[in-house]
């Protein structure tokens, strides 16, 4: 692996990236983007245009992040014949956790993959405190097999990957501070510069937390917040890191009278000699329960319920059921799921459009400083408590359905969580406050109209006030989309690809 330093300046349709190349175990890239109203104290393009660039590696686009936003976009651009350099904090992991669908839970705390974000669900001083909530994310890259591509850093091709990276001012270091392989901050290097030309644009797709961090470290964000951390503001965009949204989710767990037969012998281990299900999965070519990523039944309702005399509103509460033990995304849940799923049913109530608005803030100017992530759950003065009520009523409907079902009820031994003794509205609400979770965070670099001071992006995903820079990922949404956000992110990635490709074609006319 190599370490690089990258600086980005925009002039006309050309972006100049300066890369520092040193033979080390990690990758460092740093970029500065010229604003449309440039700070006179920043270097101007005419001051830094180097000589001899014709001999340097050149790419049409740089994409930072290859998840649901950056991955399809980078592939589309490469398929159109553009050269694309992709930076990503993950790497190409090939083990049981990434190849067996039902091991998806194990993947979320695999040391090679996991990002253990810690978030605060409630503000300081609220009567319930949950300031060490786990927000799991797993990193993996599947290298696209496009003709003429390369996954080796530094080689030219239509699609080139630089993996195991994290960024500062579009700067990339060895590991995110939430990754298991993080072993302390790294020092920067300032010599041995190599230059790479990016002909068109840089596209940030680093996710709901890292994309706003990257913009803020680049001097793009709320000026007062940047100055608190000695970051010189380049573009004042107060919406960067605001508008954090997530679905509200709460689990209800039941214990069955007997074990599910399809889990017989399954231990969810890594050694076939200790796991008969794994042994058979390997021998049969995946013909058992391990080839399922989830076994769910899904229902959706309006939060007002069926007895309301008002016109029905669009569904806002989704309940999904599965034959597993899942208390929510808490640390250690993969082992709980493996140990207790043989005789458990979990029902999860999900509120699609909650009122909570949180923030992502820097704790320092170093790219490996831990982010301050505050969800501010249930704090809206008008709708916050109603969100809790909607979840409460959803749990009551689930309980009624399970107890009254002739197909499920006779096979249920007891309710484990919140427990059969939790009956009153106040008791159920307290259970919700203490156990709510979410795993669809989004919306921290929101698209919005020109007259919205908190809009970070325009309708074409361009960062306002900056040339040749876009954000395409979960952070781009102005509101949390639907019940599950991965497919909507894939769709905006495709939409962004259409927009970028169309603009590139028109610029060539």
Model confidence at 205: pLDDT above 60: yes
Mean pLDDT of 178-200: 53
Q: How far apart are CA 292 and CA 94, in angstroms?
A: 18
**Mean pLDDT, all residues of the chain:** 80
Helices (H) and strands (E) in the chain, counts: 11, 20
Model confidence at 391: pLDDT above 90: yes
Report the pLDDT value the prediction gives residue 173, as an integer from 0 to 100.
36
Report the pLDDT value the prediction gives residue 187, as an integer from 0 to 100.
56
- The per-residue b/e assignment along 151-182, b for 16 or more CB within 10 angstroms, e otherwise, is bebeeebbbbbbbbbbbbbbbbbbbbbbbeeb
Report the pLDDT value the prediction gives residue 420, as an integer from 0 to 100.
94
- Tens of pLDDT, residues 145-165: 433 333 434 334 488 877 765
pTM, 2 dp? 0.82
Closest by Cα among 336, 18, 8, 347 to 193: 18
* Tokens read off for 228: 């608190």
Mean pLDDT of 229-239: 94
Mean pLDDT of 61-69: 91
Q: What percent of the chain has pLDDT over 90?
A: 54
Identical topology for domains 2-245+441-507 and 248-435? no
Model confidence at 27: pLDDT above 50: no
Domain chopping of the chain, boundaries: 2-245+441-507, 248-435
pLDDT range class, residue 139, cuts 50, 70, 90: low
Q: How far apart are CA 144 and CA 148, in angstroms?
A: 11
Report the pLDDT value the prediction gives residue 196, as an integer from 0 to 100.
56
Report the pLDDT value the prediction gives residue 183, as an integer from 0 to 100.
52
Q: What percent of the chain has pLDDT over 70?
A: 74
Query: Is domain 2-245+441-507 classified as CATH 3.50.50.60?
Result: yes
Helix (H) or strand (E) holding 278: helix 276-284
Q: What is the DSSP string of 348-391?
A: EEEESS----BEEE-SSSSTTSPPEEE--TT--TTTHHHHHHHH
The dotted CATH code for 248-435 is 3.30.560.10
Q: How far apart are CA 5 and CA 427, in angstroms?
A: 55
204, 171 contact by CB (below 8 A): no
164, 2 contact by CB (below 8 A): no
* 326 vs 309, higher pLDDT: 326
End-to-end CA distance of the chain: 40
Mean pLDDT of 3-21: 30
- Residue written as tokens 């100049």? 16
């Amino acid at each position: 692996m190599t370490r690089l330093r990258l600086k980005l300046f925009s002039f006309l349709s050309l972006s100049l990236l300066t890369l520092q190349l040193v033979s080390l175990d990690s990758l460092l890239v740093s970029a500065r983007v010229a604003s449309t109203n440039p700070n006179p104290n920043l270097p101007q393009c005419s001051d830094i245009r180097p000589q001899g660039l014709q001999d340097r590696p050149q790419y049409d686009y740089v994409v930072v992040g290859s998840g649901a936003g950056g991955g399809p976009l980078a592939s589309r651009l490469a398929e159109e014949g553009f050269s694309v350099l992709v930076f990503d904090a993950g790497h190409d992991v090939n083990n049981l956790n990434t190849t067996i669908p039902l091991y998806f839970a194990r993947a979320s705390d695999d040391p090679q993959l996991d990002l253990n974000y810690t978030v605060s669900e409630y503000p300081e001083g609220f009567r319930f405190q949950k300031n060490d909530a786990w927000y799991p994310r797993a990193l993996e890259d599947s290298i696209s097999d496009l003709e003429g591509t390369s996954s080796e850093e530094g080689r030219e091709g239509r699609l080139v990957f630089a993996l195991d990276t994290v960024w500062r001012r579009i700067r990339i270091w060895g590991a995110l501070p939430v990754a298991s392989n993080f072993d302390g901050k790294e020092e920067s290097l300032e010599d041995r510069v190599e230059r790479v030309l990016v002909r068109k644009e840089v596209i940030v797709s680093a996710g709901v937390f890292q994309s706003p961090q990257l913009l803020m470290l680049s001097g793009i964000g709320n000026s007062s917040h940047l100055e608190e951390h000695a970051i010189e503001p380049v573009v004042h965009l107060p919406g960067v890191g605001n508008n954090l949204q997530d679905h509200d989710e709460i689990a209800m767990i039941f214990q069955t009278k007997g074990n599910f037969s399809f889990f017989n012998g399954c231990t969810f281990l890594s050694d076939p000699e200790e796991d008969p299900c794994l042994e058979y999965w390997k021998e049969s070519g995946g013909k058992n329960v391990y080839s399922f990523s989830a076994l769910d039944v899904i229902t959706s309702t309006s939060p007002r319920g069926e007895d309301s005399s008002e016109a029905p509103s669009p569904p806002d509460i989704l309940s999904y059921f599965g034959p597993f033990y899942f208390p929510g995304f808490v640390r250690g849940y993969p082992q709980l799921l493996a140990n207790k799923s043989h005789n458990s049913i979990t029902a999860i109530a999900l509120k699609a459009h909650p009122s909570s608005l949180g923030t992502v803030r820097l704790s320092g100017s170093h790219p490996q400083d831990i982010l301050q992530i505050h969800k501010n759950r249930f704090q809206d003065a008008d709708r916050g408590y109603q969100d809790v009520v909607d979840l409460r009523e959803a749990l009551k409907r689930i309980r009624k359905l399970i107890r009254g079902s002739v197909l499920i009820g006779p096979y249920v031994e007891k309710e484990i969580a919140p427990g059969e003794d939790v009956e009153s509205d106040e008791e159920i609400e307290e259970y919700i406050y203490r156990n709510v979770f979410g795993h669809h965070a989004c919306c921290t670099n929101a698209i919005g109209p020109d007259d919205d001071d908190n809009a970070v992006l325009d309708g074409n995903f361009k960062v306002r006030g900056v040339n040749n820079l876009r954000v395409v990922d979960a952070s781009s949404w102005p509101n949390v989309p639907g019940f599950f956000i991965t497919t909507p992110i894939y769709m905006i990635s495709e939409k962004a690809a259409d927009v970028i490709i169309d603009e590139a074609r028109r610029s060539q006319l």
